[in-house]
Amino acid sequence: MDIQLINRIKGGLYGVAVGDALGGTTEFMNTKEIEAKHGYLTEIIGGGVWNLEPGEVTDDTMMTLCVVEGILEDPAEPKEAIGRFFIKWYESRPKDIGNIIRQVFHKYDGDWFEAAFIAHMDLGQSAGNGSLMRCLPVALAYKDTADIERITAMQSRMTHYDPRCTEVCVMYNRMAYRLLQGEDLRSVILAEVAGSEYEGHVEALPDCPPSGFVVHTFRWVLHILLHSTNYAEAVQKAANLGGDSDTIGAIAGGLAGIYYGYEGIPVRYTEAILVKERLDLLVSQLYALNTSSSM
């Protein structure tokens, strides 16, 4: 058993869930409102616009788990399996589906790419962060970077037609893959954004709101990761931004969780997560797939 690899895979999946559960409390608030109500939020207390139970996760984590389960069911071509888990989740009537993804589910008629295109045309845009927030499992499941890039792009295009979403998902999972190999967080981020529109925009405080627009989200995620020295600091920064805080926390938390490892996430955070048993099971299955000789 490769204990370090398990620690990183587990850190990645829990990293998403904890960032989501912590940031869910402050989603759609602004920094003034957060300060007045919570001071500086550091604990998973639930509440917020979704009236969450403490430790309850939102769409970010639930869709991430759909991607994990789809990959586990059909690692070679997971699109249809991921789609079935998406629909199963949708049919459970979750309280928090993003606009673009809701529209795609509404339009889906057997062809995900077509549904994503129709939703893009109907809404006039599809550059949300909804395919980025759930894409991490692809980097945790596959060993080959060509597989990671192909399946990461595919899962983005299932709901988000805008090529900026695909680009950011691939960049993010290339980072995740390198962190899984034990590389340094700062050098990985700087190397992977080189030549993209994010180059030169990750050090200074972003001059954009922490919104659900994928470009804004990714700028905040990279900034937070470069300016935090541990896992808790990263997800707390996201939670106290407000705006799309749960998604920014989930995305930043995924990479921070791989880099600092499961053991780097405070126990009070991991113990709070209500879907903990399901996460533990999926972590061991992801590890088995990642280390199997057939993939």
* Centroid of chain to Cα 249: 8
Q: Which residue's Cβ has the minimum distance to Mg ion?
A: 58
Binding to Mg ion by CB under 5 A, coded x per residue (else -) over 236-275, reads ----------x-----------------------------
Is the Cβ of residue 98 or residue 206 nearer to Mg ion in the bound state? 98
The nearest distance, CB 259 to Mg ion, in angstroms, is: 22
- Who contacts 35 (Cβ-Cβ below 8 Å, separation ≥6)? none
Is the Cβ of residue 6 or residue 132 nearer to Mg ion in the bound state? 132
Sort 120 into a burial class: Cβ within 10 Å, 0-12 / 13-18 / 19+: buried
CB atoms closer than 10 angstroms to residue 138:
29
The nearest distance, CB 237 to Mg ion, in angstroms, is: 17
The nearest distance, CB 24 to Mg ion, in angstroms, is: 6
The nearest distance, CB 96 to Mg ion, in angstroms, is: 5
* Interface of this chain with Mg ion, residues 48 to 77, rule: CB under 5 A: 58-60
Q: Which residues of 30-64 are buried (b: 16+ CB within 10 A; e: fewer)?
A: eeeebeeebeebbebbbebebebeebbbbbbbbbb
Interatomic CA distance for residues 136 and 206, integer angstroms: 23
Is the Cβ of residue 9 or residue 238 nearer to Mg ion in the bound state? 238
The nearest distance, CB 251 to Mg ion, in angstroms, is: 11
**The length of the chain, given as a count of residues:** 295
Instruction: Please count the residues of this chain forming the interface with Mg ion, following the rule CB under 5 A.
Output: 4
Is the Cβ of residue 60 or residue 149 nearer to Mg ion in the bound state? 60
Is the Cβ of residue 192 or residue 246 nearer to Mg ion in the bound state? 246
Under 8 Å between Cβ of 252 and 266: no
Interface ranges with Mg ion (CB under 5 A): 58-60, 246
